């Protein structure tokens, strides 16, 4: 006989406790413990995955396991294919998160149409809109494929039966927080419901070979709502970023079992839906001011793609005892570190100045190769002296003032040459072992003093 037992679970990390606590011991957050009713003594659903080789209950030597290349299904969105690692892998579970109204449902509805036009059967399950509301949105963006099936349902058992009956090759669930399992007594969107429904969809994907896309809501901190276990269960995690009041959206890969991470794709939101931006470097540099102090271009790597981005700095005299340090699109502590290097190694009195650093275009950069460009933009604004508009800077800055080697320097310089830059200032340790492209001068520097001397000569 199954018994009901009350427990408390953290909605952020999934920590369980028999009594309520104000602060979660697992993640340290306050007021995140929710009361749920657990059924004790009931047999767990599901079981081992069954594949073409039979039930997954017998161990085999690794040398006897036969492998084959995972087939991928390419969509008409080349940018999405690259973020996914070359296309959609059958049987994979993909989680897409983003702020409300950012365009997650629009993107997946367009992807569903593109796959259906290739003869693939797609089931779009909406738990937030009715079938007519989804149809109206589909007409607005021109989605009219007979192989695209729309289903408005939130019951997990009905969803499972619909997948078994229709046998689609692709399934979109919008969103996982609205789906509930009848055997779980907690409310939809709770930790137990999200975890159990995702586990059921994962079993369906692995046993039938159906690729399933899940839409996940995000919290005010920008994390996908629900336990972190949700991101560990799925194969791929994509984040859809961007400002709601701007037209450009960034799709970023943070986890991918079938491809590289840190890939990035850029889309433009139009009245007719999302459109790919094939050359993001031109997008980020098209509004750059000519001859403005504090403006420096850096060649950054986003996954396997080089992107040229403008870094802007504004250094002004502070009117407070404690100067401000603000950074948008950069790690603020790294900006403070670079300013400390300038004060110590270049004798620049920056402790009496406010510093505001920004990456133009809304991109977030976190690789060490952007250090030299950030440092140069700070000096340019501090001296009120612009650098050449045809210079691009790449290099990591050490605490002793040295310029350290970076990866994939050939691709960075080639991208700069393609966009018309005449000179690239790079670490001296990166100069050997490759052929410089024609039309651009490559200058190697070893210290911050050499780099600034080249930038302002």
Residue with tokens 């289903």: 151
Q: Any binding-site annotation on 19? A: no
Q: Whole-angstrom Cα distance, residue 264 to residue 285?
A: 17
Q: Any binding-site annotation on 105? A: yes
User: Distance of CA 452 to CAs 107, 150, 250, 441, 456, Å?
Assistant: 44, 59, 33, 17, 6
Q: Any binding-site annotation on 127? A: no
User: Is the Cα torsion angle 450, 451, 454, 457 positive or negative in sign?
Assistant: negative
3-class DSSP state of 381:
helix
Maximum C-alpha span of the chain: 83
Angle of the 156-166 helix axis to the 191-208 helix axis, nearest 10: 10
Q: Any binding-site annotation on 101? A: yes
What DSSP letter does each residue of 60-125 carry, written as one string?
--GGG----PPP-B--S-HHHHHHHTSSBPTT-EEEEEE-TTSSHHHHHHHHHHHHHHTT--EEEE
Q: Any binding-site annotation on 104? A: yes
Q: Any binding-site annotation on 42? A: no
Q: How many residues does the chain have?
A: 457
What DSSP letter does each residue of 126-187 carry, written as one string?
ESSS-HHHHHHHHHHTT---TTEEEEE--BHHHHHHHHHHH--SEEEEE-GGG-B-TT--SP
Q: Whole-angstrom Cα distance, residue 456 to residue 391?
A: 11
Q: Any binding-site annotation on 102? A: yes
Range 226-249 burial, b when 16+ CB lie within 10 A, else e: bbeebbebbbbbbbbbbeeeeebb
Q: Any binding-site annotation on 98? A: yes
Q: Which residues fall in the annotated binding site for ATP?
A: 98-105
Q: Which residues fall in the annotated binding site?
A: 98-105
């Amino acid at each position: 006989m199954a018994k009901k037992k009350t427990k408390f679970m953290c909605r952020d990390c999934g920590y369980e406790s028999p009594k309520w606590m104000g602060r979660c011991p697992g993640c340290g957050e306050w007021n995140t413990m929710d009361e749920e009713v657990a059924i004790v003594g009931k047999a767990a659903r599901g079981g081992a995955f069954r594949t073409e080789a039979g039930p997954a209950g017998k161990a085999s030597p690794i040398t006897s396991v036969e492998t084959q290349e995972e087939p991928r299904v390419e969509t008409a969105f080349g940018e999405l294919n690259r973020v996914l690692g070359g296309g959609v892998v059958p049987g994979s579970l993909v989680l897409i998160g983003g702020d409300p109204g950012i365009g997650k449902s629009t993107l997946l509805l367009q992807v569903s149409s593109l796959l259906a036009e290739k003869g693939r059967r797609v089931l779009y399950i909406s738990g937030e809109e009715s079938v007519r509301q989804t149809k109206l949105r589909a007409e607005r963006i021109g989605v009219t494929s007979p192989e695209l099936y729309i289903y408005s349902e939130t019951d997990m058992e009905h969803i499972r039966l619909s997948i078994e009956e229709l046998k689609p090759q692709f399934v979109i669930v919008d969103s996982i927080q609205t789906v509930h399992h009848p055997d779980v007594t907690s409310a939809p969107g709770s930790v137990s419901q999200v975890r159990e429904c995702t586990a059921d969809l994962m079993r369906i994907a692995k046993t039938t070979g159906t690729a399933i896309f899940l839409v996940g809501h995000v919290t005010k901190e920008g994390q996908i709502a629900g336990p972190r276990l949700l991101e560990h269960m799925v194969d791929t995690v994509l984040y859809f970023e961007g400002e709601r009041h701007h037209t450009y959206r960034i799709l970023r890969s943070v986890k991918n079992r079938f491809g590289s991470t840190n890939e990035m794709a850029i889309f433009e939101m139009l009245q007719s839906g999302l459109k790919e931006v094939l050359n993001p470097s031109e997008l980020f540099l098209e509004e750059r001011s000519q001859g403005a102090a504090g403006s420096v271009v850096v060649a950054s790597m986003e996954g396997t793609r080089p992107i040229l981005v403008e870094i802007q700095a504004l250094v002004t005299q502070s009117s407070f005892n404690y100067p401000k340090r603000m950074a948008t699109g950069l790690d603020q502590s790294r900006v403070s570190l670079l300013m400390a290097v300038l004060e110590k190694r270049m004798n620049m009195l920056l402790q009496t100045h406010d510093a505001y650093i920004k990456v133009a275009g809304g991109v977030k950069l976190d690789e060490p190769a952007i250090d030299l460009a950030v440092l140069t933009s700070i000096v340019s604004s501090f001296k009120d002296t612009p650098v050449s508009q045809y210079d691009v800077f790449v290099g990591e800055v050490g605490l002793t003032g040295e310029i350290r080697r970076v990866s994939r320097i050939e691709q960075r310089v080639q991208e700069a040459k393609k966009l018309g830059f005449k000179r690239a200032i790079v670490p001296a340790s990166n100069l050997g072992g490759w052929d410089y492209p024609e039309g651009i001068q490559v200058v190697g520097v070893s210290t911050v003093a050499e780099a600034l001397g080249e930038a302002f000569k």
